Amino acid sequence: MKKFLSIAMLIALLAVMMPASMVNAQGGEDYTVQADDWLSKLADKFYGDVNAYWAIMSATNQANADDPSYVKITNPDVVEVGSKLRIPSSDEAVAFMADFSPEDAQIEKLFASGAEGQLLAGNWWTSTGEFAAINAVYDIYRQEYPEVELIHAGLAGGGGVNFKGANLNKLIAGDPFDVFQLHVGLEAELYSPEEFLRPLDDILAETGALDVMPPDLTDLLKIRGNSYTVPMNIHRGNVMWTNTRLLEQAGVEVPTTFEEFFAVCDQLQSQGIVPLGMGIADGFELAHTFEVVLAGTVGAENTKGLFNGTVSWTDPGVTEALENYGKVLDCTNEDRSAGNWVQGIALVINDQAAFSIMGDWAYGEVIGFDATDYVTWNSPPGNQGQFFLVSDGFAIPKEAPNPENARRFIEIITRKDAQEAFNKLKGSICARTDCDYSDFGPGSAYFQGSADDFATNAIIPMVTHGSGAIPSWQDQFYQIATQFASDRDVASAQAALVLAAEDAGYPQQ
Ligand code: GAL
């Protein structure tokens, strides 16, 4: 061991002593990670370019494919002391970097291809709960197809705010992922499905998945006769997460109406407690909150009516909803711009806020941080009996580089075992109706309750999460909700909502 260490140290010492270009002109070398090393620091040392750490990651992963004594780097920020790296020569590093753009999510270049190729899985699941959940599916895939190099291409940004544009660019450029995440419903329109996506009706039929999915979900799958999305879950978009410890301490009850909510908000604020934990930095959270407040104010049928042209956005209920939305925002933490939805629920988990209104992906964080015994759930004000449907699925691009591996992935996500493994960590219920929630760990009661509610509540496909409106309308909805949060101008927000509906093809009176 000592000998090994001293050789490693000698190599490291040589690397420090020799000018980087000389060391590397000889065709690269091995390097053992020392305390206080990190990849960009090494890239700076060897190439004078902090960004060239991608070249080291790629070369090391390629080396690992032939010789497992090299470490496999899946996250460039985490490389353990003692790991063996392959440091490519300067020429190799320069050539790699000339061809590589992290912004274009060319992540596949960072990994070797397995004997049966790669599976590039594009998605935006990067938070604690989100990653744990999708990783449970990867585990199944890796176990069943060990020869495939499965690559998690996770691009942070809740609701897919960053992922969707990057993914569209890749599709247009003819450089797509093998499978990518999208919401069930109209979101597929964003990707010009007839041009870029493969219909997946055969997989849905062959696996029997269609027979075990609820009609509220299957109704959303077809776009001009074809299904491009295979669902794996049903999230509930409208939940008010509640810190029972803080409520007890403050001596307040869970409010059910807006009137009660605003009274509780005053009481909590007077005791120095943040009533509603919120983070808005991902860009979807304000629209999300407005949509939940809208339904809580005008009811489920009117909410659906506003998005299908049967109720006008000039309705006084919309005015009232905007007023309620403004008052709800006044109950949030002042630094809400600094964080995203993860920080919003973290305030509840960390006893810093009494409530947070967020979809049940937030329960994935509650589970991930072991907070299920004091963080519980309630309906947001006025939302009783309403269930905002948010469903995640995957699609296969027509030009997927590894289409067979992609099909295998889609087949797996239709399965009961995969959906159970995924959803018990994600906070959602299965897209199938035959999952057994009694075995969903400490969160079992939540999942069973959500499944029961889904079966009995009014189901509203959520616009903020791609199911209830075409993408351009969804965009305008985001913008209006965001603008309102800063100017609080009810009349102009309502006028903009009217125009957005007209743009989407629904004339308003
Ligand atoms: C939603 C998605 C969820 C969750 C959330 C936050 O749009 O359906 O799975 O990931 O965004 O990122």
Q: Return the domain boundaries, the chain.
A: 8-107, 118-234+392-449, 240-389+462-503
Segment among 67-71, 135-139, 327-331 with least mean pLDDT: 67-71
Domain covering 8-107 in this structure, CATH number: 3.10.350.10
Residue with the smallest CA separation from ligand 1 atom 1 is: 159
Is the sign of the CA dihedral 45, 48, 49, 55 positive or negative?
Answer: negative
Question: What confidence tier does 16 reach under pLDDT thresholds 50, 70, 90?
Answer: very low
Burial class (CB in 10 A: 0-12, 13-18, 19+), 475: middle
What is the CATH number assigned to the segment(s) 118-234+392-449? 3.40.190.10
Per-residue pLDDT for 12 more than 60?
A: no
Please tell me the distance between residue 393's alpha carbon and the centre of ligand 1 in angstroms.
11
Residue 405's H or E segment, with its range, is helix 403-414
- Name the 3-class secondary structure at 61: helix
Q: Which atom of ligand 1 is nearest to the CA of 359?
A: 5
> In this model, does residue 387 exceed pLDDT 60?
yes
Mean pLDDT, residues 375-400: 98
Of all residues in the chain, the percent with pLDDT exceeding 90 is 87
Distance CA 225, CA 352 (A): 49
Alpha-carbon Rg for the chain in angstroms: 25
390 lines ligand 1 (CB under 6 A): yes
Mean pLDDT for the stretch of residues 293-301? 98
Nearest CA to ligand 1 atom 6: 158
Mean pLDDT calculated for residue range 78-88: 92
Report which of 491, 501, 452, 463 is spatially closest to residue 294, judged by C-alpha positions: 463
Q: Which atom in ligand 1 lies closest to the alpha carbon of residue 391?
A: 8
Residue-wise pLDDT for 335-350, tens only, equals: 999 999 999 999 999 9
Residue 258 CB-half CA count within 13 A: 20
Q: Do domains 118-234+392-449 and 240-389+462-503 have the same CATH topology?
A: yes
Name the 3-class secondary structure at 111: coil
Q: Of 291, 276, 365, 366, whose CA–CA distance to 321 is shortest? A: 291
Helix (H, G, I), strand (E, B) or coil at 147: coil
DSSP-assigned letter for residue 28 = -
Whether residue 410 is predicted with pLDDT greater than 70 in this model: the reply is yes
pTM above 0.75, yes or no: yes
The side-by-side arrangement of strands in the sheet containing 233-236 is 429-430, 233-236, 386-390, 458-461
User: Which protein residue's CA is at the shortest distance from atom 7 of ligand 1?
Assistant: 159
Please work out, in degrees rounded to the nearest 5, the angle formed at the alpha carbon of residue 261 by the alpha carbons of 286 and 498. Answer: 40
Q: Cα 14 from chain centroid?
A: 44
445-473 pLDDT, tens per residue? 999 999 999 999 999 999 999 999 999 99
Report pLDDT for 105: 63
> 240-389+462-503 adopts what CATH topology?
D-Maltodextrin-Binding Protein; domain 2 (3.40.190)
Alpha helices in 236-352 (DSSP H): 244-250, 258-270, 285-298, 300-308, 316-329, 341-349
SS (H, E, C) 445-473: HHHHHHHHHHHHCEEEECCCCCCCCCHHH
Distant-in-sequence, close-in-space partners of 176: CB < 8 Å, separation ≥ 6: 167, 170, 196, 397, 399, 400, 401
What is the rounded average pLDDT of the residues 193-217?
98
Pick from 434, 412, 428, 431: nearest CA to 363:
428
Cα(404)–Cα(439) distance, rounded to whole angstroms? 32
Query: What tokens were used for 167?
Result: 């993914």
| Residue pLDDT, tens place only, 147-156 | 999 999 989 9
**Longest pairwise C-alpha distance within the chain:** 83
Q: Which atom of ligand 1 is nearest to the CA of 392?
A: 8
Give the Cα separation of 111 and 65 in Å (integer). 9
